[in-house]
Structure 1
């Protein structure tokens, strides 16, 4: 018997939290921008598979509550640390990526982020933009949306496009 009966659950929950955080960082923010049926099924299956990894043989109410509490505390702590210390923000938070700047496409960023020409054009059409040259700034935001800022003669307008699916590599 351990000193604290739930220390094993606490350790397991922390390990699963950090594993899931790293996995989501590796697979990228664009997958989270809009969930489809397969994504929801994946999330449900992952949650079911890691449940046992967190609580181990303790399937009691208290074991589940301790695991949930640990996850909430870790999440709260990480959010506070990312706001207070830049290093934690760099570790846990994605950064927005510039896709188009003053009408010029960043092919390296588009390729790295796996955003296709068709997807970029779709985002532009959704907001009434015909040509890349009309775009002052286009960004892939940290939440997976594509923001497009254009400057017309009278005013500046900004719009967001929610990514619907993952396309193949960007082709010039």
Structure 2
């Protein structure tokens, strides 16, 4: 029984280590998954590896590690949901990159983004240039949200074309 407790503790320790490492080294590469979801997927896929189960490469050892990860992930998500400071600590907060057409240089450096990456993100949202962006935010999941007058104009034009009027 202590062998399985050891596996559980090792799996949880690796899970927490990966979350901390991702938080420390940034999240800009994460685009669709939250930090917790990414760690969860990475660790579940490795639940039967020796790094977490030690010398026990049995099916039971892998299942014990997987159960420990499921439980830890569930608890962490509940804590984040119920306690906003824990969510901010683990996932971070959104970072404003552009405000009223002006790049927020300190925040850009904090997010470890280059101006070229920011320009590419703006273009991906269909906006010609940074000057046309009202607001661009690096979200906690790694996505960049871009709001602009170009978007409002395009949306308005589409509504008029569909006969929905201009409201």
TM-score when normalising by structure 1:
0.73
In the alignment, which residue of structure 1 is the partner of 2:9?
11
Given the alignment of the two structures, is residue 27 of structure 1 paired with residue 2 of structure 2, yes or no? no
Unaligned regions of 5+ residues in structure 2, if any? 33-40, 156-167
Q: Name the CA distance, whole Å, in 2 between partners of 1:65 and 1:153.
A: 49
The structure carrying a bigger helix percent of its residues is 2
Shift of 1:126: 2.7
Alignment deviations for residues 30-87 of structure 1 (CA, whole Å, 9 cap, x no partner): 12228xxxxxxxx98xx66993231112111111100000001000110001000123
Number of matched residues? 145
CA RMSD after TM alignment: 2.7
Aligned counterpart in structure 1 of residue 123 of structure 2, from 119, 122, 125 = 125
The 2-side partners of 1:105 and 1:76 are apart by 38
Q: TM-score, normalised by structure 2?
A: 0.75
Q: Secondary structure at the match of 1:138?
A: strand
CA distance in 2, matches of 1:140, 1:67: 34
Cα displacement string for residues 99-136 of structure 1 (whole angstroms, at most 9, x for unaligned residues) = 01111210011122221122222222233322323211
Q: Which is richer in strand?
A: 1
* Cα distance in 1 between the residues matched to 2:151 and 2:137: 22
Conservation of the 8 A alpha-carbon contact between 1:137 and 1:148: yes
CA distance in 2, matches of 1:62, 1:50: 9
